[in-house]
Structure 1
Amino acid sequence: MPGKKHGPGIKNPDMYEELREDGASKEKAARISNAAKSEGASEIGRRGGKAGDYEDWTVDELHERAAELDIEGRSSMNKGELIDALRNH
């Protein structure tokens, strides 16, 4: 595939590229596109949206989630910065 911008582990390259063009991180695009390929896009869409708004989370919860995603600089971030980092990782 000419102009391929991903590794061999991507199961749904077209969806991956669309997600990347929409601003998703490589990790997020790979996770969504691979899940959609193996489970079906409608199942992935039905499953999403259960986490709630980050604004409703405590700073400790945001720090914990940022640690799970290994976001750099999280220890010195305030709530707004954590939310931005989590949304754009």
Structure 2
Amino acid sequence: MPRGQHGSSIKDDKTYDALRDEGASKEKAARIANASARDGKKAVGRRGGKAGDYEDWTVDKLRERAAEIGIDGRSGMRKGELIKALRNH
């Protein structure tokens, strides 16, 4: 899809494009772009970072969280792969 033409579901095309260029998934980029359009970028920035470090979680808990958000292939992933998938989703 051409840059800036993501349809009416994306409320902040510039933020969406920047996040996609950084490697964020379509879902994550849309979620952040729409939140920043709704609440303002400062509010969205202050909101992040409340979860604990994934490194402190067990593999079972990481797989459970990956299942909640729909990460495919999680059952065969090692701890490092799960953490990377969760951070980049």
Residue of structure 1 in register with 2:72 after alignment: 72
Alignment size in residue pairs:
88
Same amino acid, percent of matched pairs: 66
1:27-84 deviations in Å (ceiling 9; x for gaps): 0000001001111111111110111221111112111110011111111212111112
Q: 2:42 corresponds to which residue?
A: 42
Quick one: distance in 1 between partners of 2:18 and 2:43?
19
Q: Tell me the equivalent position of 2:60.
A: 60
TM-score normalised by L of structure 2: 0.88
Q: CA deviation at 1:5?
A: 5.4
Aligned structure 1 segments of 4 or more residues deviating by more than 6 angstroms: none
Q: Which amino acid aligns with 1:46?
A: R
Change in Cα spacing, 1:55 to 1:38, as seen in structure 2 (3 Å) is same
Q: Report the RMSD for the aligned CA atoms in angstroms.
A: 1.5
Structure 2: state its 5+ residue gaps. Answer: none
If the length of structure 1 is used for normalisation, what is the TM-score?
0.88
Distance 1:5 1:55, change over 3 A: farther
Q: Secondary structure at the match of 1:82?
A: helix
The whole-number CA distance in structure 1 between the counterparts of 2:74 and 2:20 is: 23
Alignment match, 1:20: 20
Q: Return the letter of the residue paired with 2:87.
A: R
Flag the 1:56–1:5 CA change in 2: closer, same or farther, 3 A: farther
CA contact (8 A) 2:3 2:17 kept: no
Task: Say whether residues 1:51 and 2:66 are aligned partners.
Answer: no
